[in-house]
Structure 1
Amino acid sequence: MTDQPEHPEETSPPTRPQRRLDARSLRGLAHPLRMRIFELLNLDGPATATRLAERLGENTGTVSWHLRHLAEHGFIEEETGRGTKRERWWRRVPVANRLDTADFRDDPASRGALSLYLHELVRQYFDRVTSYLDEDWEDEWRTVGTVSDWSNLRLTPPQLQALNDELFAVIARHTAGQDAEPDPAALPVVVQLQSFPRRAAGGAE
């Protein structure tokens, strides 16, 4: 799992440095409010505790505490040269975080943090989709967005890995050159991919 990432198991191509999350860093991120703060900094760029608190409906002091916690674990950093001693700006550290769930399979102490993290991540994905559906978009954008699924595949683990690799490669091709001056007509786009096995009814494999 790599994040954009906004988080771990997203599908960003490895165009920037990566770090592999260990038990300590996972526990540092696995908190609902910290993950929401990290998501906003990731999606919308640098912000102050005050601005984040307003968007999240939280107390500024509480948000400040969680910002410092995220910084301590290396997920965000202060944007130097901006703001004041009383109003600090924070930004996401430009490193893609990689989480391999197999690293924690035999670590009971991290199981709760891993479960919380993954469930909160899925909730964030769901919220992004519902926000898109609830918003009023022009037809030119509404007709090109999609919420789709394919449930009739039957694959082996290597075949599922190959499918994911091909999909990641497509995203990588469309990500190339994103550092250039964007087209004025371009908007930020979220691509979410979930691919996982499903147990058949009755427990059959």
Structure 2
Amino acid sequence: MDTQDEAPRDAPPRIGDARELDVGALRALAHPLRVEIYDILSQYGPQTASSLAEQLGESSGATSYHLRALAKHDLIREVPGRGTARERWWERPKGAVSMTNPETVKTPAGRAASQLVISEFYRRRHRQLEDFIAANMRKDPEEWTAMLSTATVRLTDAQFEQLVHELEAVIDEYVARYREQEGEGVRPFTVRTDVFPLTDRRQS
């Protein structure tokens, strides 16, 4: 799993340059609340312990503790030149991050930490999708500012790698081209594209 910082930045991060998290960083992240904090920083940009506490229904002391634990492994950092001694701002550094370091997953501890982190990330993203659907169900689907799409396409591994590096706009083309493909090395892949606006938690 690769995850990018999704808040606006000067230049888009590149998956090919993803930082592979070691066991220490993964174990530091392997806590549901820390995953949520990390993802909020990714999606919404810099936050303080207080703003995170308000969004998460936690105390600022708890969020401050988890922020320091994440910073200890360079998963997040203080925003330069912003904040005070009493109100520190935190951000996720630019760049993509891989949760599936080939070396890390060779150990039981590394596999366990990777599984927990990835599961929590997808659990959070699925909750966001469900929240979006619930909030918009009374509207005409044509009025949704979203693209929710699933598809099954038969590809070789090489064709899969080609697909994931292309824009979502060409997914339909790949489905049509390879739908009936058979032969050595061909297997089914599910292609899921969810594009929808995130709720501003500070206004909810």
Query: Is the contact made by 1:16 and 1:95 (CA closer than 8 Å) also made in structure 2?
Result: no
Match of 2:188 in 1: none
Code of the residue aligned with 1:55 in structure 2: it is Q
CA drift of 1:169 comes to: 9.6
Whether 1:142 and 2:143 are equivalent positions in the alignment is yes
Q: 1:49-198 alignment to 2 at 5 Å? A: 49-136=49-136, 142-151=143-152, 153-167=153-167, 191=195
Code of the residue aligned with 1:72 in structure 2: it is K
TM-score with structure 1 length normalisation? 0.69
Q: Which is worse superposed, 132-141 or 43-52?
A: 132-141
Instruction: Provide Cα deviations, 1:8-46, integer angstroms capped at 9, x if missing partner.
Output: xxxx76189642211111112121101101111111111
CA distance in 1, matches of 2:55, 2:136: 20
Unpaired runs of 5+ residues, structure 1, are: 7-11, 171-189, 193-205
Code of the residue aligned with 1:77 in structure 2: it is R
Q: Which is worse superposed, 159-168 or 51-60?
A: 159-168
CA drift of 1:163 comes to: 2.0
Code of the residue aligned with 2:96 in structure 1: it is A
Distance of aligned partners of 1:15 and 1:116 in 2 relative to their CA distance in 1, 3 Å threshold = closer
Query: Is the contact made by 2:13 and 2:95 (CA closer than 8 Å) also made in structure 1?
Result: no
Secondary structure of the residue that 2:149 maps to in structure 1? coil
Query: Is the contact made by 2:78 and 2:91 (CA closer than 8 Å) also made in structure 1?
Result: yes
Secondary structure of the residue that 1:147 maps to in structure 2? strand
Code of the residue aligned with 2:95 in structure 1: it is V
Distance of aligned partners of 1:128 and 1:141 in 2 relative to their CA distance in 1, 3 Å threshold = farther
Matched residues, number: 168
Distance of aligned partners of 1:68 and 1:158 in 2 relative to their CA distance in 1, 3 Å threshold = same
CA distance in 1, matches of 2:91, 2:13: 21
Runs (4 or more) in structure 1 with deviation over 6 Å come to: 137-141
CA distance in 1, matches of 2:102, 2:167: 22
Unpaired runs of 5+ residues, structure 2, are: 7-11, 171-193, 197-204
Distance of aligned partners of 1:167 and 1:65 in 2 relative to their CA distance in 1, 3 Å threshold = same
Match of 1:195 in 2: none
CA drift of 1:73 comes to: 0.8
Distance of aligned partners of 1:158 and 1:15 in 2 relative to their CA distance in 1, 3 Å threshold = closer
CA drift of 1:77 comes to: 1.1
Secondary structure of the residue that 2:102 maps to in structure 1? helix
CA distance in 2, matches of 1:51, 1:68: 15
Distance of aligned partners of 1:100 and 1:76 in 2 relative to their CA distance in 1, 3 Å threshold = same
CA drift of 1:74 comes to: 0.6
Secondary structure of the residue that 1:40 maps to in structure 2? helix
Q: Which is worse superposed, 54-63 or 14-23?
A: 14-23
Normalized per residue, the structure richer in strand is: 2
Code of the residue aligned with 2:29 in structure 1: it is L
Superposition CA RMSD, Å? 3.0
TM-score with structure 2 length normalisation? 0.69
Code of the residue aligned with 2:112 in structure 1: it is G
Instruction: Provide Cα deviations, 1:63-118, integer angstroms capped at 9, x if missing partner.
Output: 10000011111111112332221111111112321233533342112121111011
